[in-house]
Amino acid sequence: MSQLHYRTCHLCETMCGIEVEHDGEQVIAIRGDKNDVLSQGNICPKSTGIQDIHSCPDRLKKPLMRIRKNPAEKSPDDTWIEVEWEEALDYTAGELANIQNEHGMNSLASYWGRSTAHNLGALLSVPPVQKILGSRNVFTGSTVDQMPHNFVWHHMLGHQFLCTIPDINRTDYYLMLGTNPKVSNGAQMSTGANTWKKLNDIRERGGKCVLIDPRRTESAKYMDEHHFIHPHADSMFLIGIIQVIFAKGLAKPGRMAGHINGWDEIAPLVNQFDLDRIAEVTSIARTDIERIAEEFATAKRPVCYGRTGISMVQFAGLTQWLMQTLNVIVGSMDEIGGMMFPKPAVESRPLTHSSWATYHSRVSGRPEFSGEFPMAVLGEEILTPGQDQIRGLIGLAGNMVLSMADGNNSEKALQAVDFYVAVDPYLNETTRFADIILPPCGPFEKGHYDMFYHLYDTINWAKYSPPLFITEHSKWTDFEILRELMGRFASQRTQNPLKKMLIKLTHSAVKNFLNPERIVAIALRFGPYGKGLNPFKKNALSLQKLKENPHGVFLGDLEYSLPEGLYTEDKKINLAPKVFVEDLPRLKAWFVNGGLEATQCESEFDLKIISRLTNRTLGWMHHSYRLIKGKNPCELMIHPDDAATRGIEKDSLVNVTSRTGQIQIPVDITENIMPGVVCMPHLWGHNRVGTRQKVANANPGVSMNDLTDVTGIDQLTGNAIVNGVPVKVEAVATITDREETHTDESVEEFFA
């Protein structure tokens, strides 16, 4: 007899509610939960793929240990053997402790992939693991997509996680840059897979939606206007908008008047740039810039919103700063319909870190940001000999070979590290370099609460999802794996008998009294909606109340929270932080003083490549048959004019070459991409040897990060430059039969 289980999809910050039909052991179907307080039945295709991950035969169930053919190096000919958990944990802890005892605290590094933030147990493990390791070498996937957001929040608002969220439910002018909510379902704006409906709602209530993007994306049909823009030029467009608003006397601080520092500095800064030149380098007509600026500033409730598309470019930090500045100068910061701030049921900000340049990386001297270094320096920190060279690595989730800039560089670094332990359920392109893989249990075998992504809420709400299945493997969640590993590591690192005893006692206490569910219960009690120390408080939120309401609990619309909610010392918005002002000359040199033309003329790489998201792009979901079957999405979009001048026809296979690498890919000739720009999906490239992922490897595609450059970063924030990388494109063959993915019966039998 089938049963129903309700939970939150954990794949992205959209946090859709899903209804899981099951028979007690296997999933029968996954649908949208029509009663979910946020998503109201809306889901994207990715949610249905979780069913395949649960049943995937390639998903590891026991630790996998490498037996080297040559003790001196890793080789594709090495053997992998399954080992028991106790042996695996003791072995791993011993190897890590030996490295640190011999080479110092900073000889170990940790890498936390993107899905860490979507995983309750993994996220709760980050602070204690970093504390126990004691190493300053901390890396996350954030510096390849969103770190400029956090950088701006830190410098303007006082904390890297004081997240500005567009109040899309109440705005009437929506100016959008570098984001595609029809596919991403919001992205840093949790709406529940119905953002496109909300765009329609804006227009139906008399508002307007404007999209600025080098590609006419899937979201364009829900907008009133779309304007092509050259990659890297978003900052110039925003400068033009801000300049016009000040020139026309339309700037107004709104309710934040008296709580802003640096207001008088903005107009002189943007007036350094000529508006005609701005129009030229953006490809957006001056009349359009002036019109959009006036419309935006005179709208009742305007908001400007941008996501990773403007964080993975040459001037990412400046672009994000200018976007927030635009919202401030029209009175939309912490205003209904503008940029607002959710009030999560679990208040995590006081427990997190926000800092800048308190120390620097060993090799290239990059400043830390909030306790981590850019991923761009991980390779050099491993490959460059010397004191504090990274020799051991703990990696959780994340497939950096495919997801980080310059996958070939990532491979060299992973090959060179002395010992690498991967906490991951697959032997994939990255974990094939590990010495041991510790696989966490499946997605339905652990509880879920979005400890982090409620910072992106467009309404205030809460929901807890208990485990669905309990199996022999269920006890090995990410939390339990890291708890047991760190307990053993700390014990083996010290030779002091008293310290060993204290460590074992502490470890035993944590093991007996703390688990993710209990931590959530405590956090809810002492959160803004909980009982706190008042046992008589009525209608308080608790874990038990969430369990009794499996579709979630609505906690109210977004409300005013500034200036009290600011983390700056004086409780004022810092509108002109020194770090951004000092980066403007770099922007001016590029776009005004000839740097742009010089770059275009000196190179044979005459096109700029940008990435795109598909509704089945998330790399760890390429193990789902139902998500990757059908037409191969791994194609290069190119404008008809660019195709014609290169002799490229609709059935062409082309070489795409950058300074760092080359790939071959079929083309999609379309006017949905602007001339001079090409576009392809990211996170593909399952063509490396030595993996165990039958479904993903059946449709390998190619990796865009074989073209990106590890040295290409936004100099201010350290974020990787993924969009706007110079390439050349040449036709090499004609494809007679377009490939359909997974049409044979073998893959279907694989999941049967």
Q: What is the pLDDT of residues 95-151, one digit of tens each?
A: 999 999 999 999 999 999 988 988 999 999 999 999 999 999 999 999 998 999 999
Which pLDDT score, from 0 to 100, does residue 603 have? 74
Task: Give residue 110's pLDDT.
Answer: 98
Condensed to tens digits (0 to 9), the pLDDT of residues 566-606 reads: 999 999 999 999 999 999 999 999 998 876 655 555 578 99
Using the predicted structure, report yes or no on whether residue 681 has a pLDDT greater than 90.
Answer: yes
CB atoms within 10 A of CB 715: 14
Strand 302-306, strand 173-177: pairing: parallel
Q: What are 397-450's pLDDT values in tens digits?
A: 889 999 999 999 999 999 999 999 999 999 999 999 999 999 999 999 999 999
Token couple for 178: 């570098």
- Can you give the pLDDT at residue 742? 43
Over residues 41-62, the mean pLDDT reads 91
For residue 308, the model assigns a pLDDT of: 87
Nearest to 99 by CA among 66, 137, 127: 137
Instruction: List, in sequence order, every beta strand (DSSP E) within 583-724.
Output: 607-612, 630-631, 636-638, 652-657, 662-669, 677-681
Confidence of residue 196 (pLDDT cuts 50, 70, 90): confident
733: confidence class by pLDDT, cuts 50, 70, 90: confident
Q: How far is CA 751 from CA 53, 183, 464, 694, 748, in A?
A: 10, 27, 29, 11, 6
Q: Which residue type sits at 640?
A: P
- At residue 750, the pLDDT reads 40
Mean pLDDT of the chain: 93
Domains of the chain by start residue, with CATH: 81-144+355-499 (3.40.50.740), 151-341+564-580 (3.40.228.10), 603-751 (2.40.40.20)
Which pLDDT score, from 0 to 100, does residue 677 have? 98
pLDDT in tens, 233-287: 999 999 999 999 999 999 999 999 999 999 999 999 999 999 999 999 999 999 9
Angle 694-117-540 from CA coordinates, rounded to 5°: 130
pLDDT interval class at 608 (50, 70, 90): very high
- How far CA 353 is from CA of 131, 344, 598, 713, in Å, comes to 12, 18, 41, 23
* Distance separating alpha carbons of residues 606 and 677, to the nearest angstrom: 9
Q: What is the pLDDT of residue 541?
A: 97
Token representation of residue 394: 């703990």
Q: Sorting pLDDT into bands at 50, 70 and 90, what band is 45?
A: confident
Q: What is the mean pLDDT of residues 528-534?
A: 93
- Give tens-digit pLDDT for 535-550: 889 899 999 999 999 9
Q: What does the pLDDT look like over 707-726, one tens digit per residue?
A: 999 999 999 999 999 999 99
Nearest Cα to 573, choosing from 253, 304, 269? 253
* Sheet with 108-112, edge to edge strand ranges: 79-82, 64-67, 436-438, 419-423, 392-396, 108-112, 138-140
Tell me the mean pLDDT in the region 41-49: 87
pLDDT bucket at 734, cuts 50 / 70 / 90? confident
Residue 747, pLDDT above cutoff 70: no
Mean pLDDT of the 657-681 span: 97
Q: What confidence category does residue 372 fall into, taking pLDDT thresholds of 50, 70 and 90?
A: very high
CA distance 244 to 326: 11
